Amino acid sequence: MIYNKLSYNRLDNRSRLEGLWNKLSVYTLFWAKPRSKTKSQSKNLLPVLPSVESKAKRAIDILGALVGLSLTAIIYMLIAPVIYFDDPGPIFYRQTRIGLHGQSFRIWKFRSMVQDAEKYQHLVPNEAQGHIFKNENDPRVTRIGAILRQTSLDEFPQFLNVLKGEMSLVGTRPPTPDEVSRYLPHHFQRLHVKPGLTGEWQVNGRSTVKDFEEIVKMDLLYQKKWSLGYDFKLIFKTVLVVLTKKGAC
C-alpha cells in the first residue's frame, strides 16, 4: 500500500511538472518573438541567443571538450587506482540531471563518495536552504574524494557531457529531478539554457552559497549577461578559483 501511494504521488508530481513546463514553454515561445516590444518588455523576455553566436559557443564547447577529455584520460590513469584502493568500487559516478528544456541526462564524475552514498543522505544534516543538499563536512566523502573536490578534478569527466551536447563549458548549475519537481514558476527559466561545467554560481558561490534562491539568481544573471566574451571571462575566473581553492567543497 505504501509503495502504491508513493508511486502514485511521484506520477502525480511528474504530470503536474510536465504540465507546468508545457505552459511555460508555450508562454516563452509566444513572447520571445513579438512584432514590436518596448524597452521594459525586452528586459522581462527570455534572452534568445543569436544563431551565429550559438554556433560559435557550440564550436568552443566541442574544442574545449576534446582538450578536456585528453586531460581527463591522463588524470584517469593517475587517480583511478587511488580511488579504487581508497574505497573499492566504481571509478565513475553517474547521476540523472535535468538539462536544456527539461531533458534528462546522466552526468559523469569521478566518484568522490562511498558506494551507494545516496542511500545514506537522510543521515547527513542538510546545511543548505531550499531545494538543494549541502554539507561541507559530509562523512560520505572519501579521503581521495575530498582532494578531488577541493581541486575540482572530480568534475573533469563532465567534458564527455559537453562533447555530447548535454552540457556546455559555461552555463547554469545542472539540477536533479528532485529539485525540478519542487520548482516554482520562476525557477524554470534556468532550464532555457544548457547547464554548464562552470558558471556564475561555480565562480562566485561554490560551497559558500547555501541558499537555493541565491543560486537561481546567479543562474538568471548569467542568462541576462550572456555573451561569448562573458563565457571566456567566467572560464578564466574558474581557473583562478580552482587554483586558489576558493569556496571548495
Rounded to the nearest integer, the mean pLDDT of the chain is 81
| Domain membership flag for residue 69 | yes
pLDDT at 8: 38
Please report where in the chains the cell 535535468 appears, as a residue: 98
Q: Could you read off the pLDDT of 94-142 as tens digits, one per residue?
A: 999 999 999 999 999 999 999 989 888 888 988 888 788 888 889 999 9
| Domain membership flag for residue 46 | no
Which residues span the domain enclosing 167? 53-244
Does the pLDDT at position 4 exceed 90?
A: no
- Work out the average pLDDT over 214-238: 93
| Domain membership flag for residue 15 | no
| Domain membership flag for residue 33 | no
Closest by CA position to 97, among listed 27, 148, 172? 172
Count of domains forming the chain: 1
- Work out the average pLDDT over 158-185: 95
| Domain membership flag for residue 124 | yes
| Domain membership flag for residue 27 | no
pLDDT at 248: 54
Amino acid identity of 194? K
Say how far apart CA 33 and CA 132 lie, in whole Å.
34
Question: Who has greater pLDDT, 34 or 230?
Answer: 230
pLDDT-based confidence at residue 208 (cuts at 50, 70, 90)? confident
pLDDT at 246: 67
Does the pLDDT at position 22 exceed 60?
A: no
| Domain membership flag for residue 209 | yes
Does the pLDDT at position 195 exceed 80?
A: yes
| Domain membership flag for residue 249 | no
- Work out the average pLDDT over 202-214: 80
DSSP string over 175-222: --HHHHHT--GGGGGGGGS-BEEE-HHHHHTGGG--BHHHHHHHHHHH
